[in-house]
Structure 1
């Protein structure tokens, strides 16, 4: 069942979307059409039915805005009155199509394997049949008239709706929670209602809303052909049929019903677009109030750039339910500086980096008191262009397997630098050569699966170098690589920094990698930065107990092979589990009462050093480890 906070968030996003120009337009159109459908027959019903033999087939005039028909009836009044039956029949056909599509769509997931395969095959055959011919075939079977047209149009919508629901249901039915529900003996009906339909509701509603516009056109088309509404009843399609032979004499009379069909179809499309924006990442974001910020502590001065390439103050990443994965961190990265970001899984390292690049996945929300990159305020304009390059842990997730590598690199130059196709292709080959990929001309014509893991990582780095990045964010760039390739990639990053002057933010679990590459280290725990120190002090002079615990779990060349590796007791807190006090206190052997009651702030501990701890480790407790021991 969807989380109540998610439902609330969806309502808020819908409300914000309705305040955009698109939302206002869609809402205004819906209200206008609804008013015409409700009030039109009451206000103009008599005028639309009044026969005047003295005013037969007249043109537009002050008395008859769109003229009159062959019986002297006012055409404008008839178009208005036809709004209600046209919408009623359209929505009725939509209910048939959506209901039938849902039934056939979820059936393969709840019936036996053989009946499910049969239903899937039948739907596949119906979808392959041309839609217009299928509609006319059904209209012929059900016969001429309103009822037959409603069933024909509604059933014609069933196959595409069922195919969509089948595809969506198949992706949900394989989830662990569905398997667990089956093991617990949840009934088929309850399985559909509680586990399947809520998880496919959003795309199904969007499809149904936009398909309703097509149903309107299809139903009007049947009436226009004489297969739908029959006299004396009428809808827009019937009115268009009656006035078509006078299109050259009185164009307005013939075009008005057609314009009503087109504009109302566009209204349904706008409604679907509004729902799509409200349900997806394109929804306009409202500023989220964060927790009260304390006055700046030592080392957290006012947010002036001071030459810093990146400056963040109070950076937060919040997910539905108020769960904060990044809880108001502050950091600076100077131009050309290499900074390491370390911590256990779930500490918020990758989300912090993604927040800087405006890449936090939906439904996460990023807020900050200050967020600047190269002098620009990212809160006002998050576009970074080619000033920032991202190197992800899995290069296959960054490369499209269907496109050649050179083409993917060239696209960056075409979009961001405005280069011609030929110039961009030449630049892509040059960048592949710059990252030490042999035979770059040939390799540019290959696809990602033809590259080794190390070459794919190099290609992703080359993609970042298509522009002139000021900052390179490398998120676990060597995790999946062997030690030889890892050394090559790290060496390549060092060369890139030296040649381009770019700053580097390296995210890693491997302290030895950070010690080799970086100049400064930020240690994160539970969404907070708990220590900031020079890399030379990481392995021997860390002041925070958590940092020392991380160092203690990493074996070195001098570690006794027969000695059991050290571990950190307990587990890191989940977002939303942290309360008052130091988040590391439940796992810390130095914790005292104050640690459980008051949250320490990041404060200066010496030149270039900051720590968030009430009782930091003193110099006397330093170990004899050195950076060289793990290198």
Structure 2
């Protein structure tokens, strides 16, 4: 409410608000006060000019044009608002079609919307006016349907943007239906821009309605709106120009009032009146990776997460793309496994695939994908949703996109307990308060009734962890949990994850760009590049025993207390591989100083070496300076 009231603090907003309020008040009071004066016929004073008795003159029956203009305010505004309501309702149906009906039907609807948007609104209005016939009712539907495609396009863009948020994906996994998702999680978060654009659309509808009535397609005698008065007054414009000027001025003032009010609200709220469209992610054929021998002799009861030959596929313009290509690993109870690599290496997508959060058109395949022995490849069932909701905790990279900004924090945490554990509203909220307290949020009773924007970044991240603890998780997947946090808060979040892991014997998968953080928190490190695991080694041996050139390059790029301040910082040469164009052979070969002809031709398998470590490299552990000569030979060839 404060944000809406801020509109009145600007000169433009105050002026537009006063004008809009004046038009609405006049629409209510004018017919009550001046209908008799507006309908009074004076045949002795026909087509008279302005005077003290008739400020805007009279029409061809001697009726007062000024009073008729005032009384016409109600019908003009009512019809404009009715047309706007039609545009909003039809636009919402068109804009949410993809979300509710699925991609195929939604694509057809979107194509029709795109075609309709290409035509000027007035042409569409004239087209529909011919279909629905002459009169006020036909004009309402004509103008409403003409405005629906633009509103539908905006709705489609906003819904697609919010529909990709983490909290919507989590609700889908929890089994929330599409209709409930739309009304509970999506529409409340796009309501402000839709209201703003509907307000601006009301001004446009009023102008369009006046235009149709002026053309004789709208309001018919004996009723009249501003457009009809303008139509009647234009015939006598040379005798009494005020007969056309008065209703014309009313149309301009009211249209400007609605448009300026909408634009001032948009500026005050920081809402745009047009939106952009999100894009799809992208990577080549999967290469099978050998199962890790070291994992075969672990007690299966000790394994929390078991992944074999995991591949994620998206459709691409030139064939399927594989951002994750046949990776295998296991996480045991109480173990912390770090996943590192550059952006685009497949780290986050692996976490989403494990958590069953990869939506259409993505496809997840694996020879084994088990959580606590349950097969996650099976079709979606109530039992599987319960398992994921209580035994797996996902800590997303940006909690601001993971929490619904229109709902209180306590209610969002409580929803987990109500849905997956069957607790009542009061018990679930008490559990939420207890979980907020467990993640070291002060005054949790008060904080539970606040909204996400009232939490600091670190508090939101802790609350995100608290949401994962609403059940009894056996595995926490933390995807860049310290991104955008200052170093002090980063340490607090990492300490919290470590303490939870120690206290509850919970397995942890920590995804990060920061190799040093992973080395401090985790027991084991998986290094990913181009959708595959290129090295798997103990975190304690990371600095001393890293054998893959990519791992060593990542470590060298991290400055420490011994870094020469006068020398340029070390970087990994070249650019990461495009998932849609992974080369033959080793994907890192183009950036690797150790690469030889064999690297360019053959993909190295992920094998266990003599030291018991897994590495995928034909030249693992070789000194860089020795192999530079080989690299020069490759370049020469």
Task: Name the TM-score, length of structure 2 as normaliser.
Answer: 0.55
Partner of 2:151: 163
Measured at CA, do residues 169 and 106 of structure 1 come closer, stay the same or move farther in structure 2, by a change above 3 Å?
farther
Query: What secondary structure is seen at the aligned counterpart in 1 of 2:545?
Result: coil
Partner of 1:450: 454
- How far the C-alpha of 1:349 sits from its partner, in A, is 0.4
- How far the C-alpha of 1:483 sits from its partner, in A, is 0.7
Partner of 2:340: 342
Measured at CA, do residues 371 and 424 of structure 1 come closer, stay the same or move farther in structure 2, by a change above 3 Å?
same
* Residues 586-619 of structure 1 deviation map (CA, whole Å, 9 limit, x = unaligned): 1111111111111111111246521011111159
Measured in 1, the distance between the counterparts of 2:436 and 2:314 equals 38
Partner of 2:543: 539
Query: What secondary structure is seen at the aligned counterpart in 2 of 1:385?
Result: helix
Partner of 2:164: none
Measured at CA, do residues 514 and 103 of structure 1 come closer, stay the same or move farther in structure 2, by a change above 3 Å?
closer
Counterparts of 1:114-513 in structure 2 under 5 Å?
138=132, 141=135, 157-165=145-153, 167-168=155-156, 291=286, 293=288, 298-299=293-294, 305=300, 307-321=302-316, 322-381=320-379, 383=384, 384-513=388-517
Measured at CA, do residues 137 and 580 of structure 1 come closer, stay the same or move farther in structure 2, by a change above 3 Å?
closer
Correspondence 1:561 to 2:591: no
Query: What secondary structure is seen at the aligned counterpart in 1 of 2:389?
Result: coil
| Residue pair 2:389, 2:416 contacting (<8 A) in 1 also | no
- How far the C-alpha of 1:579 sits from its partner, in A, is 3.0
Measured in 2, the distance between the counterparts of 1:292 and 1:478 equals 32
Measured at CA, do residues 575 and 15 of structure 1 come closer, stay the same or move farther in structure 2, by a change above 3 Å?
same
- How far the C-alpha of 1:426 sits from its partner, in A, is 0.3
Q: CA RMSD in A?
A: 3.8
| Residue pair 1:476, 1:507 contacting (<8 A) in 2 also | yes
| Residue pair 1:541, 1:619 contacting (<8 A) in 2 also | no
| Residue pair 1:106, 1:169 contacting (<8 A) in 2 also | no
* Residues 82-132 of structure 1 deviation map (CA, whole Å, 9 limit, x = unaligned): xxxxxxxxxxxxx9xx98x76763457xxxxxxx8xx79x99xx9xxxxxx
Measured at CA, do residues 597 and 452 of structure 1 come closer, stay the same or move farther in structure 2, by a change above 3 Å?
same
Measured in 2, the distance between the counterparts of 1:473 and 1:461 equals 10
Partner of 1:530: 534
Query: What secondary structure is seen at the aligned counterpart in 1 of 2:546?
Result: coil
Measured in 2, the distance between the counterparts of 1:169 and 1:460 equals 27
* Residues 424-470 of structure 1 deviation map (CA, whole Å, 9 limit, x = unaligned): 00000000000000000011111111111100101101000000111
Partner of 1:5: none
Measured in 2, the distance between the counterparts of 1:170 and 1:493 equals 34
Measured in 2, the distance between the counterparts of 1:603 and 1:102 equals 52
After alignment, is 410-419 or 564-573 more displaced? 564-573
Measured in 2, the distance between the counterparts of 1:592 and 1:103 equals 54
| Residue pair 2:289, 2:327 contacting (<8 A) in 1 also | no
- How far the C-alpha of 1:560 sits from its partner, in A, is 1.9
Query: What secondary structure is seen at the aligned counterpart in 2 of 1:328?
Result: strand
Partner of 2:117: 105
| Residue pair 1:105, 1:169 contacting (<8 A) in 2 also | no
Query: What secondary structure is seen at the aligned counterpart in 1 of 2:461?
Result: helix
- How far the C-alpha of 1:567 sits from its partner, in A, is 1.1
Task: Name the TM-score, length of structure 1 as normaliser.
Answer: 0.56
Measured at CA, do residues 571 and 302 of structure 1 come closer, stay the same or move farther in structure 2, by a change above 3 Å?
farther
Measured at CA, do residues 608 and 435 of structure 1 come closer, stay the same or move farther in structure 2, by a change above 3 Å?
farther
Measured in 2, the distance between the counterparts of 1:445 and 1:378 equals 35
After alignment, is 464-473 or 157-166 more displaced? 157-166
Measured in 1, the distance between the counterparts of 2:490 and 2:104 equals 46
| Residue pair 1:300, 1:330 contacting (<8 A) in 2 also | no
Partner of 1:603: 607
Count of residues in Structure 1 that have an aligned counterpart in Structure 2: 388
- How far the C-alpha of 1:569 sits from its partner, in A, is 1.2
Measured at CA, do residues 17 and 139 of structure 1 come closer, stay the same or move farther in structure 2, by a change above 3 Å?
closer
Measured in 2, the distance between the counterparts of 1:608 and 1:514 equals 20
